[in-house]
Structure 1
Amino acid sequence: MMLMNRRGVLAGGLAAAVLPGSEALGALSATEPKRRMAPKAIGTAERMARIARARVLMEKAGIGAVLVEAGASLDYFAGFAWNRSERLTGLLIPREGEPVVVTPFFELATVTELLGIPAAVRTWHEHESPFRLVTRIMAERGLAAAPIGLEHSVRHFIRTGLEVASPRTKLVSADPVVAALRMIKTPAEIALMQYASDLTLDAIAEVHPRIRPGVGNREVAAMLQQAMVDRGGSNPWALVLFGAAAALPHGTGRPLTLQAGQMVLIDTGCSFGGYQSDISRSFVVGARPSAEQRRVWEQVAAGQQIAWRALKVGAPAGSVDDAVRTAYARWGYGPDYQLPGLSHRTGHGIGMEGHEPINLVRGERTRLAPGMCFSNEPGIYLPGKFGVRLEDCFYMTAAGPRWFSVPPATIDDPIGRSGA
């Protein structure tokens, strides 16, 4: 259940800044952890294959060009990461011909250096409209009357800028092209996601024995982040919750100190090669789990398996969430999203972003297909007491789902193992 902006602030994203010289961090850094054999990075050939597949979908949808702005999709196609700002830097992918990067003139050298595909780079000056430049390029390519596709995440000022620059140009959704491509991962992408998952699980296994009564949640978050960095992960994040705070899916801003017998909920991950991991574990420290803690943990574990059995190629994605909620209601939770019970969807898409289409949520009719990747995290939350979330990601194959991380079998051995 990755939610970087809020989670990073509330639950330990500041931990590295708060505790840069802590004893725990020093202890973790003292011994270099054994690294796994890293898979190959995504290269130019794969990105050009993505553009070729995009053009097939554009032709089918009647789209003349797709404009991709800064963000994960720009990296997906063009091979470089770029922060969004008030200035447009984007990639125009026409139905045919060379792709074109549109960027401010003063960014020309940097963009040229970072660009990961063969593409033209066209610039605009500060007093000029980048949107007029886009429409001019469209005209030069013989596409002046063709629709331009925009992702659902494209910001409003870009859409309105294009509308002003070319009122007659039809702007349409590019999701049938971009989202459809990114939703289906290739073997190279799955290998990177497996590696990110493995190093995250290794970090959890390393930190788990160091979690004892008296430790702070931010200290644990810092240890997890450092352990992932030590293994080659980037942009690590960690949500760590104790006791009643574990009943809040995205945590609390208050610092927490672990007491013996409390439920510990860890939700953590990182990026490797541009692809994300996301794993949650719940366990009890300093005492044997109570009967209630054990029962709820086992119900969540059963919920994961119910979701797993519903993962059939061709089944609507929403049917997985339906299967879990039906069982939870039978066990006395809910109904629906009511607490105590499961207050969020069963799972989310994952890839270059921690959350991306589609989701395992009621009403989602998109049919499961090989290459799709999701989290499986049907938590149960008891307000004022504790919450349990087990989260493991998986990918679909023609033969059914395969785990990136295999869930633990018991609360007494709560780490699990790699699905590789």
Structure 2
Amino acid sequence: MTRPQHHVPVTQLSAPGFPPEEYEERLFATRAAMERQGLTALLVTAPEDIHYLCGLDHQGHFAVTGLLVPIDGAPVLVERAMEAPTAAAQTVGVGHHGYGDATDPADALLDVLTQLVPAVRTVGYQADSLSLPPVVWDRLRTAADVTWADCSALLGARRSVHTDREIARIRVAARLSDTAMAAGLAASTAGAGENEIAAAVYAAMLRDGGDLPAFAPLVRTADRLDQEHLTWSRHRLGPRDAVFLELSAAHGRYHAPLARLHHLDPRDAAQDARAAETSRAAMEELCATLRPGSTAEEVFATWHSAMETRLGEPFARHHCGYLIGIGFPPGWMGGSRTLRPGNTMELRAGMTFHVQSWLVGGPQGTHAFSDTALVTADGCEILTRTPYTD
């Protein structure tokens, strides 16, 4: 087994994302949860959770990166050696162990784990992390003297409830999203290319101080509305087209998505007026249910019932929103905890959701839009403020 390179506490070269006490509180709560589950250490590989616990914010997660958190002592960030200066500049309260490109990341993780917890080890890991490759996990799970426990929900539940400092960041992201949407809608004229609209979106959000978002803006004509994760093409808008824009700016790694559907010709907007009215009325009922104590499935049921009542016929849609906050590529979701049937997650004040109300096709026409909503102590607050365009 490859011997580890030295790891030492990093030196702060620039201010971290939040004050040290914010990270200390997060680590304290994480260790309390670890203790309740009988863990001696926790391996964190989801970029959102690594960022949450120590502030790391870079695009290097294509290489295996893990934060090893012992029940006592300083956590250690295990990643490519070339990332050490970035870790030193950004992270709070952790050591850094860099491995070379010829080193098996699993060896590096196991070596550091042995140093942090030399005795019998019960280690939590994130089974649902996209950043734990099977080839690495196969090495880890067969290691001697380590009992692994799936702790996928340990951090996610806490990270979904934001502190005041985090909410302040999301509010800034919402203002940047509104600015970017205004630019995108202004650029959506007959003859404009979808790529040119996307360029206007990016220019506005970055010029006003936004960071690189975790997901590209989605720009497409309404006839392709059901192709939900297209970015943009070089198609040029015709005078009777409708264009759909879905985007999120980022402040730090915090996101605030929204979407709008815009008809270039008022005659087409008039034809879809009933769909717009139905979609917006259902959103009002959704937001009335988006409050502490409601469950995710209750919010969905309220929205779905409102849609079916106004349509007068069965209506199918898989969800009406999802939790947001910290996001890294490939998405601004940071997970997949959606407002859907069967999800009994209880809403709490401080959660933020990307709430959506889509009606695609049918006798009333088509309309789709979304906003970022904050669950407050007594209801919800819509953070994005872009006016409805039609």
Kindly indicate whether residue 132 of structure 2 is the aligned counterpart of residue 158 of structure 1. Answer: no
Quickly say closer, same or farther: Cα 1:395–1:144, change in 2 above 3 A.
Answer: farther
Query: Per chain length, whose mean CA-contact separation is higher, i.e. which structure has more relative contact order (CA < 8 Å, sep 6+)?
Result: 1
1:257 aligns with 2:216: no
In structure 1, the partner of 2:181 is: 204
Query: Is 2:98 the partner of 1:119?
Result: no
2:79 corresponds in structure 1 to 103
Aligned: 1:64 with 2:40:
yes
Shift of 1:228: 0.7
Unpaired runs of at least 5, structure 1: 1-39, 338-342, 413-420
Q: Measure the CA separation in 2 of the matches of 1:243 and 1:139.
A: 55
Deviates further, 263-272 or 222-231: 263-272
1:310 and 1:320 in contact (8 A); partners too? yes
SS of aligned partner of 2:223: helix
> 1:16-415, aligned counterparts within 5 Å?
41-69=17-45, 71-82=47-58, 83-85=60-62, 87-104=63-80, 106-107=81-82, 109-110=84-85, 112-124=87-99, 129-142=104-117, 144-151=119-126, 152-153=128-129, 154-166=132-144, 168-236=145-213, 237-251=216-230, 254-332=233-311, 335-337=314-316, 343-353=317-327, 354-355=332-333, 356-382=335-361, 387-406=366-385, 408=387, 411-412=389-390
Q: Which amino acid aligns with 1:220?
A: I
* Residue pair 2:295, 2:347 contacting (<8 A) in 1 also: yes
Tell me the secondary structure at the aligned position of residue 185 of structure 1: coil
Q: Residues 191 and 376 (structure 1 numbering): CA distance in 2 closer, same or farther, change over 3 Å? A: same
State how far apart, in whole Å, the 2-side matches of 1:269 and 1:307 are.
Answer: 21
Letter in 1 for 2:326: M
Divergent runs of 4+, >6 A: 383-386
What secondary structure, in the 3-state scheme, does the structure 2 residue paired with 1:42 have? coil
- With structure 2 as the length reference, what TM-score do the two structures score? 0.84
CA RMSD of superposed structures (Å): 2.7
Cα shift at 1:245: 2.1
> For residues 81 and 376 of structure 1, what CA distance do their matches in structure 2 show?
26
CA apart distance, 1:328: 1.9
Paired residue type of 2:160: M
- CA offsets per residue over residues 144-183 of structure 1, 9 Å max, x none? 32321112213323322212323x4221222332112211
CA deviation map 1:337-363 (0-9, x unaligned): 2xxxxx341001111121134211111
Larger mean CA deviation between 384-393 and 94-103 belongs to: 384-393
Distance 1:252 1:352, change over 3 A: closer
SS of aligned partner of 1:360: coil
Query: How far off is 1:246 after superposition?
Result: 3.0
1:375, 1:391 within 8 Å by CA — same for their partners in 2? yes
Query: How much has 1:399 moved relative to structure 2?
Result: 1.4
On the 8 A contact 1:244/1:385 being kept in 2, the answer is no
Distance 1:144 1:288, change over 3 A: farther
Residues of 2 paired with 1:135 and 1:274: CA distance? 29
What is the deviation of 1:199? 1.3
Counterpart-to-counterpart distance in 2, 1:231 and 1:264 = 24
Distance 1:60 1:260, change over 3 A: same
Q: Provide TM-score, normalisation by structure 1.
A: 0.78
- Give 3-state SS (helix, strand or coil) of 1:241's partner: strand
5+ unaligned residues in a row in structure 2: which ranges? 1-15
Distance verdict in 2 for CA 1:385–1:213, change over 3 Å:
farther
Measure the CA separation in 2 of the matches of 1:127 and 1:89.
Answer: 15
Q: What is the deviation of 1:281? A: 1.0
Per-residue deviation, 1:226: 0.7
Q: Which residue of 2 aligns with 1:36?
A: none
CA distance in 1, matches of 2:186, 2:377: 38
